[in-house]
Amino acid sequence: MMCAESSDSAHDLGATALPPDTVGLLAGMVTTRAIRRYRAEPIAPDALRAILFAATRAPSGSNRQPFRFLVLTDGPKARAAKKLIGDGARRAWGAKRETDRYNTGSGAVEDSPKARMARTMQQFVDEFERVPVLILPCLVRYREPTPSEGASVYPACQNLLLAARALGYGGAFTGWNAVVDTELRELLGIPANTSIAGTITLGKPAGRHGPVRRRPMSELVYEERWGESPDWAVDPPGTAFTSAGPPQRSDL
């Protein structure tokens, strides 16, 4: 049962337009970084409402809208879920750090991209329980799992992250929920026919957004034939690039 104050707040939001967007659409798309460090402040209900409204406007197969968002802020179950996923994240990151040799090679050079990433990730998992908002995007299955079913939930996740960027917040998408899937379902009452599609953390950035680094367009965009880039696939002036990408295999 909702208290009078909560009911009044919901009524007020229902009569209030969405807040103004502080970032243009194209600018938001090319500057929405994964934000893993947050200020110790909550996200106001009106901002959460706008961010989740944008998420629920995303497309889905046959417009069935099978996505659901479980939002966890500071209640007892939220704190328990953050601790649960945080413990799993620390185990998963510890294994990845060892397997991917983040402490050797360029990772041992203090200011290298690999070393900076390792420090950021370590801080992220060490402080996971302090994230202001934790969101579990879910997919309610209405048929047997298919390779393309993510198309009915992941566009909504991108809408969510872009909306957060537009309102001065930031987030990061991970799959650490998978490490503690059974425990999360039991804690939060998530049905068996529902897939937990990821873990999204949200908050006010302790750092900042900025241009994302990707590979050049000419390596990613083809025309007419595989591997042949069109003349117009040219990056704007000042674009910064990364060499990151899938492992290269000579037999592929």
pLDDT in tens, 190-207: 999 999 999 999 999 998
Is pLDDT above 70 for 3? no
Give percent of the chain above pLDDT 70: 93
* pLDDT for 8: 57
* pLDDT for 30: 93
Residue 145 is encoded by which pair of tokens?
């799992």
* pLDDT for 151: 94
219-246 pLDDT per residue, tens: 999 999 999 999 999 999 999 998 877 6
Is pLDDT above 50 for 25? yes
* pLDDT for 2: 42
* pLDDT for 112: 85
How far is the C-alpha of 41 from the C-alpha of 52, rounded, in Å? 19
What is the average per-residue pLDDT within 155-176? 96
DSSP-based three-state secondary structure for 61: helix
DSSP-based three-state secondary structure for 170: strand
* pLDDT for 214: 93
Q: Given pLDDT bands bounded at 50, 70 and 90, which one contains residue 10?
A: low
Least confident of 38-52, 97-111, 144-158, 175-189: 97-111
How far is the C-alpha of 63 from the C-alpha of 66, rounded, in Å? 8
The answer to whether 226 and 158 have CB atoms below 8 angstroms apart is no
How far is the C-alpha of 52 from the C-alpha of 55, rounded, in Å? 5
Is pLDDT above 80 for 43? yes
Q: Given pLDDT bands bounded at 50, 70 and 90, which one contains residue 133?
A: very high
